[in-house]
Structure 1
Amino acid sequence: MRTDLISSRENPKIKYACSLRDSEKQRAAEGLFFAEGPKLCLELAKSCTPRAAYATEAALRKHPELAALDPAPVTPPVAEKLAGTKTSQGAFVLFEIPTPPPDTLATARRLLALEGVQDPGNVGTLLRSAAAFGFDAVLLGPGCAAPFSPKTLRSSMGAAGRLPVLHTGDLPASLRVLRERGVTCLAAALYRSRPLEQAGTDFPGGLCVVIGSEGQGLQDATVQACDAAVRIPMTDRVESLNAGVAGSVLLWHFRGV
């Protein structure tokens, strides 16, 4: 175990870690992200490269497997600063943001595409569901919550590190690229849609499920760029499902295609 105990909340390394935690702009510039919690950090370490780690003595006693990350020991007050709360889990790691293979958009057969899904909990839930149901990649259009923000990471339980996550500034254009190589793109929408059970299960060229924002849904141009629109049949007891639930239902439905 390392003996270089960090006891100052103003330590430059601690301040740097906190800045990565709080700034998406800095995470993008540095190519790093911040994760908290023994379970999440250990899960991410299976697929992402750790660059720096910090842990309290109590966290190391409870989770001795954290020693494999070679964490610098920190005092509880320092851990509180890293956590941003007084209920610190005592383990923190800075990881490299994984780079998707350059040919992902050209080779992935089962994709999830999101547009304007701003809630980190919903994005995290959908990343986790995509990984659980065997999808190959996730395509994030404009307006989506950052996949490696602390809140999204907690909801995804590290799924963003287990499957490629790509970004596009023009989702309709990206969907047209997918369709050109035979991938069927299905938009989750109400207008001119067919019930989910009528969507079929035969997609020889691949499938992309496209989910829109919680309040606005998909842009018209995005729906028009898809092959068809599908809807989840529901009772009249609720007006709609949130993006995380609706998307997960669709991903489960198409899990075997």
Structure 2
Amino acid sequence: MIKQLSKKQQKLVKDLIKSKKARMKNRCFIVEGLKNVAESIKSNYEVRFVVISDDFFKSNIGFIKILSKQVCPNRLYQVRDNLFNELTDTVTPQGIMAVINFKDTNIEDVQKENFLMIALDRIQDPGNMGTIIRTADAAGADAIVIGQKCVDIYNPKVVRSAMGSLFHVPIIQTDDLIKTLIELKEKGGKVVTTHLKAKKPYYDVNYMACTIIVMGSEDEGVSKEIVRISDELVKIPMPGSAESLNVAIAHGIMVFEAVKQRIKPVPTACK
């Protein structure tokens, strides 16, 4: 028997959608849509509860049966369609959402030979953040390091634009990005940073050994401190008239250069 959602739970859902403060306080976030919910359930994230609209329940009986085997039945809740629409901020909701607990990841959890990591400094746009997470997942990155001044990765817009990849690639959130990058350098990592004034093209760098690709904010790029500790400063040649690239596009170009190099015979191991 699927239960009814309490007033307290309804308030929690609304607060999690609207407020980073509420997400931090309760250490959980909202996932919406069939694909994202399915990916969250298959992952090693903990599902607090799932909310289903009446219409979704009627139209997806097969999925509901599978869901009831994957999630404890007392964590499944059904609501009227109009109430579901009140809970969500999605324009055309699919009728299913889940409340997922935070998952903390440390460098030690993801360290491996020849690691490829992405580090993000002050990325502010939710759409860019979600696209970067999705692209890093497609490229097989071992982890993404998120600096403190970046947009909240559990922002509903980030979660939606990541399209399930949030649950595939480990994400390390750090209060001190410089300290974390130095720690990765000490473990044999090479910090490769995009910079408009760099002389070297991105494709002239060797990404075969342990590498951390650093992308900076949409307006200012990376901080001076990151430039100072970087092993390589690179640029993406732009023969056209545009002054710069969208950071998510630039990230895709960089990370798939690493993929191109790494699909060649056995890469060089870390020291």
Q: Normalising by structure 1, report the TM-score.
A: 0.90
Any stretches of 5+ residues in structure 2 without a counterpart?
263-271
After TM superposition, the structure 1 = structure 2 runs for residues 202-213 of structure 1, keeping only pairs within 5 Å, are 202-203=208-209, 206-213=210-217
Query: Which residue number in structure 2 is paired with residue 143 of structure 1?
Result: 149
1:224 partner amino acid? R
Please say if 1:182 is aligned against 2:176: no
Query: Which residue number in structure 2 is paired with residue 193 of structure 1?
Result: 199
Query: Which residue number in structure 2 is paired with residue 18 of structure 1?
Result: 14
| Alignment partners' CA distance in 2, 1:183 and 1:220 | 19
Q: What is the root-mean-square deviation in Å for CA atoms of aligned residues?
A: 1.9
Query: Which residue number in structure 2 is paired with residue 78 of structure 1?
Result: 83
Q: Which one of 42, 46, 54 corresponds to residue 46 of structure 1?
A: 42
Shift, 1:125, TM fit: 0.6
Shift, 1:86, TM fit: 5.6
Identity %, equivalent residues: 27
| Alignment partners' CA distance in 2, 1:5 and 1:234 | 56
Where 2:39 maps in the other structure, the secondary structure is helix
Shift, 1:114, TM fit: 0.2
| Alignment partners' CA distance in 1, 2:127 and 2:91 | 22
1:248 partner amino acid? G
Where 2:42 maps in the other structure, the secondary structure is coil
1:61 partner amino acid? K
Q: Which one of 210, 235, 238 corresponds to residue 239 of structure 2?
A: 235
After TM superposition, the structure 1 = structure 2 runs for residues 1-257 of structure 1, keeping only pairs within 5 Å, are 1-2=1-2, 4-6=3-5, 11-47=7-43, 48-63=45-60, 64-67=62-65, 68=67, 69=71, 70=73, 71-84=76-89, 87-101=92-106, 103-104=108-109, 107=112, 109-203=115-209, 206-255=210-259, 256-257=261-262
Shift, 1:39, TM fit: 1.7
> Does the C-alpha gap of structure 1 residues 128 and 85 become closer, same or farther in structure 2, counting only changes over 3 Å?
closer
Q: Is the 8 A contact 1:211 1:243 kept in 2?
A: yes
Cα offsets for 1:195-252 (capped at 9, x unmatched): 012112432xx11000001110011111111101111112222111111111111111
| Alignment partners' CA distance in 2, 1:52 and 1:118 | 29
2:30 partner amino acid? F
| Alignment partners' CA distance in 2, 1:247 and 1:86 | 29
Cα offsets for 1:57-94 (capped at 9, x unmatched): 22123333144144311001111111135632211110
Shift, 1:30, TM fit: 1.7
**Would you say how many aligned residue pairs link Structure 1 and Structure 2?**
251
| Alignment partners' CA distance in 1, 2:201 and 2:171 | 28
Cα offsets for 1:34-63 (capped at 9, x unmatched): 111112111221112211111112212333
Structure 1 runs, 4 residues or longer, greater than 6 Å off = none
Q: Is the 8 A contact 1:111 1:138 kept in 2?
A: yes
| Alignment partners' CA distance in 2, 1:241 and 1:66 | 43
Where 1:103 maps in the other structure, the secondary structure is helix
63-72 or 133-142, larger mean C-alpha shift: 63-72
1:156 partner amino acid? A
Cα offsets for 1:95-145 (capped at 9, x unmatched): 111221561375471110000100011111111111110111110113211
Q: Is the 8 A contact 2:106 2:172 kept in 1?
A: no
| Alignment partners' CA distance in 2, 1:84 and 1:193 | 45
Cα offsets for 1:129-187 (capped at 9, x unmatched): 11110111110113211111110001111212222211222222221111112101100
1:65 partner amino acid? F
> Does the C-alpha gap of structure 1 residues 230 and 101 become closer, same or farther in structure 2, counting only changes over 3 Å?
same
